[in-house]
Amino acid sequence: MDKRVFKLSEVIVIIVITALLSAVVTGFISYNTLIKTKKVTYVNLTNDKDLKEFLEVYAELVTDYYKDINKKELLDSAINGMTTYLDENYTTHLSKTDTSNLLNSLSGQYQGIGIEIKEDLVINDVFESSPAKKAGLKKGDKLIKVDDEVLEGKTASEAASLIKDSKKKSVVVTVLRDNEEMKFTIELSSVNIPSVYGEVVTDTKIGYIYLNTFSNTTYTQFKDKLEDLEKKNITSLIIDVRGNGGGYLISAKQIASLFIEQGKLIYSLEDKNTKVDYKDETKEKRSYPVVILIDENSASASEILTAALVDSYGAKTVGTTSYGKGKVQQTKELKDGSLVKFTSAKWLRPNGTCIDEVGITPDIKVELEVKDGKIIDSQYNKAVDYLKNNSK
């Protein structure tokens, strides 16, 4: 088996792509899709003296301040003040743009053509079954025009926006391939965002699955890939959540349930009033060895999945200590498209501990290695070696 080695430039691309998502998602784990949002009843709100005083100040400022006031911006500042007062990293007011980026990344779908673009405008990936794939775009093509808009000097984000924000049902994309300009007319449609990659490790019966987020579609993608690998007679599995900043709690719970025996604990949620245990309710389970690859950017849902499989399944961990995010958030979308996310509980791993600001310490600590300008994925290699020696 060839040891896994990355060129440093390839790793930088991976880091940049991951960072774009992690900048919005890291530290966020929502259970809105797992637990119905509680209906909040504002009892005696009209008799709240503190709120009445706030409204009086607001009214006087709007009416009597010597300059015109943007009421929307004034109220945004008040909301920002409330979240800042709580002095907690994961409670914040997200702008309309950041909210859109967050919700799009976690939906698992977006309106577009299905390509991943590097900062030099070269296509890094063409998603399977996407409009771009069907039209004939290829990895390595360089984008030079979208419709009649020349892309020289534009960022990858700007190029992507030109494609996604087109008011037409299709876009004409011009690329440079082998020093030849080529035009493709591509229909815009709903595209599934790949969040799972999998393969059988060369010359082994070890499966490998990489997760880059926990979106609405991640569980289905994971289950399909797992079953595909099992048809190839794998006898053990590596789950890679390095760089995975989190997402929906339900997705992590569903994936854990594929492995854990019915009735065993997956995690617990503890708020200021109660503690609720969440156990595996499915009949599905596995019994083969599992190794989970983690690093300092494995956060939230990644840590919930890891802790569940370690404590209730017997999985082993390889890599470096995880991020240490032991809290969960609820969200409140505002009419202007922005969003307030606030911490509403902490989660506990099956062994009863909270990993907040501590993380999960790997069973086998391994750092990545750099040799001759290339990064050797010694964590992956160690996981493969471990499973080769501990699988039937």
CA distances to 30, 75, 343, 350 from 274, in Å: 18, 33, 15, 16
Which pLDDT does position 370 carry in this prediction? 87
Which pLDDT does position 166 carry in this prediction? 67
Beta bridge partners of 316: 291
Which is the catalytic residue, given 130, 166, 236, 300? 300
Q: Taking the model in full, what pTM does it have? A: 0.79
Q: DSSP secondary structure string, 264-302?
A: -EEEEEE-SS-EEEEE---S----S-EEEEE-TT--THH
Which pLDDT does position 224 carry in this prediction? 96
Which pLDDT does position 33 carry in this prediction? 44
Asked if residue 113 lies in contact with residue 163, where contact means CB atoms within 8 angstroms, the answer is yes
Q: DSSP secondary structure string, 143-166?
A: EEEETTEE-TT--HHHHHHHHHT-
Distance between CA atoms of residues 28 and 245, nearest Å = 7
Which pLDDT does position 19 carry in this prediction? 36
Which pLDDT does position 236 carry in this prediction? 98
Which is the catalytic residue, given 105, 166, 268, 329? 329
In the chain, ranges of CATH 3.90.226.10 domains: 5-33+193-390
Q: Is 365 an active-site residue?
A: no
Which pLDDT does position 25 carry in this prediction? 45
Q: Is 325 an active-site residue?
A: yes
Q: Is 300 an active-site residue?
A: yes
Which pLDDT does position 26 carry in this prediction? 44
Which is the catalytic residue, given 145, 225, 253, 325? 325
In the chain, ranges of CATH 2.30.42.10 domains: 109-192
Q: Which CATH superfamily is domain 109-192 in?
A: PDZ domain (2.30.42.10)
**Could you report the per-residue pLDDT of 31-83, keeping only the tens digit for each?**
544 333 444 555 566 678 888 899 999 999 999 999 999 999 999 999 999 99
Taking the C-alpha atoms of 354, 357, 363 and 368 in order, what is their torsion angle to the nearest 10 degrees? 150
Residues 6 or more apart in contact with residue 236 via CB below 8 angstroms: 205, 206, 207, 288, 289, 290, 291, 387, 390, 391
pLDDT tens, N- to C-terminus, the chain (392 residues): 445 644 333 333 333 333 333 434 444 555 544 333 444 555 566 678 888 899 999 999 999 999 999 999 999 999 999 999 998 888 889 888 788 777 777 777 778 899 989 889 999 989 888 999 999 999 999 999 999 899 999 998 889 888 887 677 899 999 999 999 999 999 999 888 889 999 999 999 999 999 999 999 999 999 999 999 999 999 999 999 999 999 889 999 999 999 999 999 999 999 999 999 999 999 999 999 999 999 999 999 999 999 999 999 999 999 999 999 999 888 888 888 888 988 889 999 999 999 999 999 999 999 999 888 888 999 999 999 999 998 76
Which pLDDT does position 12 carry in this prediction? 34
Q: Which CATH architecture has domain 5-33+193-390?
A: Alpha-Beta Complex (3.90)
Which pLDDT does position 392 carry in this prediction? 67
Which pLDDT does position 387 carry in this prediction? 97
Which pLDDT does position 90 carry in this prediction? 85
Q: At 339, list the tokens.
A: 């969003």
